[in-house]
Amino acid sequence: MSIPWSVDRRPDTGHYNARLGMGLFLVADAMFMGALYSSLVFLRTAGETWSSAMEQVPAAGHVAALLLAIAAAVVLSMARRQAGVGPILASVVLGIAAVAVMTYDQAQLSAPDAGTAFAMVYVLNGVVRLHLLGGVAAALWFLLLNGRMRRDEPQHFINRLECLGMLAYFNAFAWLFSVAFIHLL
């Protein structure tokens, strides 16, 4: 028995199932990231020893990673239009590049036991990297294992790309807010 509205949009709600599901997942994820940002603000204002540690956190790498993450999201939304292999591949490369920059950056920084400020950067960086890696893994899965779907059920495949695009934009925003809270607060 097939499940209704798994590919087509239900007219009265305007969604196919996966799009709504992805939206709900991202709402939960926003609460997750939001809790981390709130913790940062709470500790920044309540703790006595936030220190000037943040001045040691290099902003250049963080911003570079941000640009790469945004580029990955934008390229994916191009892929969605034509279900093209090239743009998906490009988004994978951009995503991996962002992760690489963030990993390098983190390695330069003091460990989490050096202070709560460093620990916060460590957690935010790690969590966003995991998000990006999740997106890369999904893109690779669609590329390598969904060839038949791309040919025979193009709409289904395009839906998947749309959902992945939503995640990619979310990831870029998650890192954008992280960078803002880390460097501007």
Which positions lie near another protein, rule CB under 8 A?
1-6, 10, 13, 15, 17-18, 20-21, 24-25, 27-29, 31-36, 38-39, 42-43, 46-51, 111-117, 119-120, 122-123, 127
Burial classification of residue 101, based on how many CB atoms lie within 10 Å of its CB (0-12 exposed, 13-18 middle, 19 or more buried): buried
Q: How far is the CB of 87 from another protein (least distance, A)?
A: 27
- The 8 Å CB, 24+ separation contacts for 102-106 are 102/61, 102/62, 102/65, 102/128, 102/129, 102/132, 103/129, 104/61, 105/58, 105/61, 105/62, 105/65
Nearer to another protein, 111 or 137 (CB): 111
Nearer to another protein, 31 or 60 (CB): 31
Q: How far is the CB of 37 from another protein (least distance, A)?
A: 10
Nearer to another protein, 115 or 134 (CB): 115
